[in-house]
Structure 1
Amino acid sequence: MTMNRYLVMAMRLPQFDTDQIGPHRDFLDELRGQGRLELAGGFGDKSGGAYVLRASDLDEARVMAFRDPLHLSGSSRIDVYEWQA
C-alpha cells in the first residue's frame, strides 16, 4: 500500500482547553508508534500547531486527524491537506 503525506493544521479556537494538551500528545505518540506520524510541533505564537501524517489517501488522513482530542473536544480547528513534497 502506498502511503502519502498529509499536513494537519490544528488551530486553537477561543474555547481552547489546556486540559486537552496531554491527551493530544498521547494521540500523537500513538500515531508515532504506528509509523503514521512523520513530524509534529507547535507554533511559537501559541496559535496552534501542525503535524504530518502518513496515510493511503485523504479520507484516511481525515479520519485519523479527526480522532485528535483537540478536535473531539472542540478546542481546535483541524484541517487536513495533501502534502506534495
Structure 2
Amino acid sequence: MGYFAAFLHMLDVEKNKDVLPRHIQYLDELDAKGKIFARGPFTDKSGGLVVYVADSFEEANALALKDPHVVEESRELEMKEWKILVKD
C-alpha cells in the first residue's frame, strides 16, 4: 500500500464550478472505500490536492483519471508517489 498525490491544477474556473459537485461525490465514494487519505482545495484557488491510498501508482492514477474534474477537463492532473516521513 502506498500514498499518491494528485495535484489538480485549475484550467477553467467557470467549468470547475459546474463539475465540483460531481467531483465531491466521486471522492466521497472513494473515501468510503478507504481510497482517500486526504483531500482539499488550495487556498489560492489554483486547484486542489487528493492523496490516494492504493497498491500501486497505476491503481491510483486510474482512480485519478476517473475524477470528473479530469474527465471534463476543468482541471489538469499531475500525479506523484508520496512518501510519508514519520518521526521516530
Do they superpose with TM above 0.5? yes
1:45 matched to 2:44: yes
Q: Does 1:30 align with 2:15?
A: no
Larger radius of gyration: 2
| Contact 1:16–1:74, Cα closer than 8 Å, also in 2 | no
1:11-48 deviations in whole A, cap 9, x for unaligned? 11146511100000001101101100010010111110
Please identify which structure carries the higher helix content.
2
SS of 1:6's equivalent?
Answer: strand
Runs of 4+ displaced beyond 6 Å: none
Task: Say which SS state the counterpart of residue 41 (structure 1) adopts.
Answer: strand
Normalised to the residue count of structure 1, the TM-score between the two structures is 0.92
Structure 2 runs not aligned, ≥5 long: none
Task: Name the count of aligned residue pairs.
Answer: 83
**Cα shift readout 1:41-79 (whole Å, capped 9, x = no counterpart):** 101111100011001111111100000000000110011
Q: Distance in 2 between matches of 1:66 and 1:16?
A: 20
What percentage of aligned pairs have identical amino acids? 31
TM-score in terms of structure 2 length: 0.89
State the distance in 2 between where 1:14 and 1:51 align: 18
